[in-house]
Amino acid sequence: MMKNLIRICLFTTLLFVTGDLVAQNVHVSTPRTSLVLSAPVGGELKYVYYGSKLTENDYREVYNAPVMQHTAYPVYGMNCPGESALAVTHADGNMTLQMEVTGTEIKNTDGAVIAVIKLKDKVYPFSVNVCYKAYSDVDIIETWTEIAHAEKKNVTLRKFDSAFLPVRRGNVWLSSLYGSWANEGKLVQEPLEPGMKVIKNRDGVRNSHTAHAEVMFSLDGKPQENYGNVIGAALCYGGNYKLRIDTDDSEYHQFYAGINEENSAYNLKKGELFITPALALTYSAEGLSGCSRNFHRWARKYKLAHGNSLRKILLNSWEGVYFDINENGMNQMMGDIASMGGELFVMDDGWFGDKYKRNSDNSSLGDWKVDTGKLPGGIRKLVDDARQHKVKFGIWIEPEMANTTSELYEKHPEWILKAPLREPVLGRGGTQVVLDLGNPQVQDFIFNLVDTLMTNYPEIDYIKWDANMAIMNHGSNYLPKNEQSHLYIAYHRGFENVCRRIRAKYPELTIQACASGGGRANYGVLPYFDEFWVSDNTDALQRIYMQWGASYFFPAIAMASHISAAPNHQTFRTIPLKYRIDVAMSGRLGMEIQPKNMTDEEKELCRKAIADYKMIRPVVQLGDIYRLLSPYDRLGVASLMYVSPEKEKAVFYWWKTEHFCNQHLPRIRMAGLHPDKIYKVTELNRIDNQPLDYEGKAFSGAYLMANGLEMPYNHKVDYHKLSDYSSRILYLEEVK
């Protein structure tokens, strides 16, 4: 009964007559947020309010206060100077739209209510459904559109955003992510100034290397982590996207988000339904971290494969051996990770190739046959070895790609993306090409690769799915001539189709989204994947910055973070093992190293760390994040913590990011604890000869949040172990 009552409260409509119009006011709400629209039949759909949860009284009166009164889905043609979310060319060449509300429909789903506001052009048989999905247990509202027509010939969609949101001007700041390969997820924060801010991607395959389809708007000035009003937005699409923020001469910043329309004009057939990807919106009065917590809860429950299942601790072979795969080496690595308490071994690139051997990145993609020269016993021997070591087995594939030096390319050159009459632009290794996922035969080929592996070796527990090339060649042998502009959209429809088929048959399989590192950190991809590889750069210091940025939108359970070697293979920086461990333990812990090159002392430190991580894993992977001091503030230290939902346990991280003599670092106040609970403090991964002064002591949550604890700037270790790096992990547990 209570569940039904909650659902009813999520969606409210008020009907009244105004002149010739029937006014229909739509209130869509989550536990702590409200979205109000005006939807008069025969009139325009307009925004009225978006923000913190309205009381019944405020909902009734909000129409009498100064309100947004912005068209909720602006279309082109009748107000040309303004930006639009939708622009088309009708079959007769007319480029205008004029949409009016024809009705509203309510749909109840498990855990959410969907409001569908139906719009129709006043002249043409062209319609748009504007959809809002409000969750009953997380503070996320998803919005998207459904576009269709009944005109005699195709209508060309020239712009087709998922959503538009006006943001009231003031001292509004934008937080977004940018970067490049090995430098993903960098945070930039800037005030919104007059003009157009555009964040976009045109890679075609991977969409989160150089920018991200997620942003936050801080409404009260410079962004703060744990206080202030913030709107968050995340476009759930794995392909090319474009986010626009137009600060014009009005009182509002105009925010548009959707598929990037560049070179992607879509010829919509009569009766065909074009569904845009969802834009997830959230609002928090608890600062940036509050917005992140909203995204993380939604992600774990609704948008991430197995989002509430604890992740295994693994060893990946890549940085340990690269392409030098062999049976003895794999067996040795399995034994080593098992001895340190790990739970999974993943064999990376270099295991396949028949006619062409995969000894480097310039051949064999597409030829998914075991190289019996390297692995005489095949995958069966590896699976059996893993069982003997009592660890699970995983394997690397790159199924969307091929090399021109491959049997697949020799047999099916028409399967690659390439323009007619043009020689292909080649990628990684000078031979890599992208397969045409718009082609159902290619989709079947990729599905069959996974299906064959899992049918022959059902013990496979984990697949690392890589994608190391952008779409460099615009051209499809499968699409007809008049639909070549559909290429990018067709690619991702094909990709999602393959992923759905795999998940339908193998729902329990763990799959990592790796795309030249962090190229696929996006909620359009993650429903089919359990996690993403944050970056090919495993340097612990740089990972603090990248993982900090990723945490704005993605939970720790989705962020693969590995302990790697020193000197680091990307930056060549030498960082002590303790620091590398402490950084990796703030995400999904793994190892990316050759254990046989480690000393016994290093292995023992890892063994203890893995045991401790198993203890704190539920808090880190399923808890609430509170970012405390940003590395981007350049104050010499970075700190964050995770708190269990019941607030009885917490894990506090502290990393020094700069080292100078006689330096002065701020003391970090904690957050998210229950003020009345008493917490015992235990340091994890301790290397100091003496414990911290407060080791084993207990403090109230109120004290820790008001004062924090002093962190020694350096480790007290033997002289030959001194270094310029310092880090701490504190485990807080309620004293009952």
> How many helical (H) and strand (E) elements, i.e. helices and strands, does the chain have?
13, 37
Q: How far apart are CA 496 and CA 432, in angstroms?
A: 22
Q: pLDDT tens digits, residue range 152-198? A: 999 999 999 999 999 999 999 999 999 999 999 999 999 999 999 99
Angle CA 182–329–538, to nearest 5: 15
Q: Which residue has the tokens 């890589």?
A: 466
Question: What pLDDT is attached to residue 10?
Answer: 42
Structure token pair of residue 351? 């295991």
Question: What pLDDT is attached to residue 68?
Answer: 74
SS3 call for 549: helix
Q: pLDDT tens digits, residue range 464-504? A: 999 999 999 999 999 999 999 999 999 999 999 999 999 99
Q: Where are the alpha helices (DSSP H) in 590-700?
A: 600-622
Question: What pLDDT is attached to residue 80?
Answer: 86
Helix or strand (DSSP H, E) at 13: strand 11-18
Structure token pair of residue 74? 């602006």
Asked if residue 290 lies in contact with residue 510, where contact means CB atoms within 8 angstroms, the answer is: no
- Whether 67 has a pLDDT exceeding 90, the answer reads no
Report the sign of the C-alpha dihedral through residues 569, 575, 578, 580, in that order: negative
Distance (Å) of CA 82 to CA 17, 74, 101, 625: 30, 9, 21, 39
Strands 274-275, 531-533: parallel, antiparallel or unpaired by DSSP?
Answer: unpaired
Mean pLDDT, the chain, as a whole number?
Answer: 95
Question: What pLDDT is attached to residue 480?
Answer: 98
Angle CA 311–552–619, to nearest 5: 35
- Whether 285 has a pLDDT exceeding 50, the answer reads yes
Question: What pLDDT is attached to residue 64?
Answer: 83
DSSP state at residue 269: P
- Whether 22 has a pLDDT exceeding 60, the answer reads no
With cut-offs at 50, 70 and 90, classify the pLDDT of residue 16.
very low
Question: What pLDDT is attached to residue 18?
Answer: 35
3-state secondary structure 390-451: CCEEEEEECCCEEECCCHHHHHCHHHECCCCCCCCCCCHHHCEEEECCCCHHHHHHHHHHHH
Q: What percent of the chain is predicted at pLDDT more than 90?
A: 94
Q: How far apart are CA 260 and CA 211, in angstroms?
A: 13
Q: pLDDT tens digits, residue range 512-546? A: 999 999 999 999 999 999 999 999 999 999 999 99
With cut-offs at 50, 70 and 90, classify the pLDDT of residue 122.
very high
Question: What pLDDT is attached to residue 23?
Answer: 53
Q: How far apart are CA 338 and CA 114, in angstroms?
A: 47
Question: What pLDDT is attached to residue 489?
Answer: 98
Report phi then psi at 682, rounded to 5.
-135, 130
Question: What pLDDT is attached to residue 66?
Answer: 65
Q: Is the peptide bond before 223 cis (omega within 30 degrees of 0)?
A: no
Asked if residue 211 lies in contact with residue 242, where contact means CB atoms within 8 angstroms, the answer is: no
Mean pLDDT along residues 703-708? 98
Q: pLDDT tens digits, residue range 242-257? A: 999 999 999 999 999 9
Structure token pair of residue 505? 């048959």
With cut-offs at 50, 70 and 90, classify the pLDDT of residue 5.
very low
Mean pLDDT along residues 663-671? 97
Structure token pair of residue 353? 């190739």
**Around Cβ 109, how many Cβ atoms within 10 Å?**
11
Q: Is 322 exposed, middle or buried, given 0-12, 13-18 or 19+ CB atoms closer than 10 A?
A: middle
Asked if residue 579 lies in contact with residue 656, where contact means CB atoms within 8 angstroms, the answer is: no
With cut-offs at 50, 70 and 90, classify the pLDDT of residue 63.
confident
Q: Which of 59-73, 174-188, 221-235, 702-716 has the lowest mean pLDDT?
A: 59-73
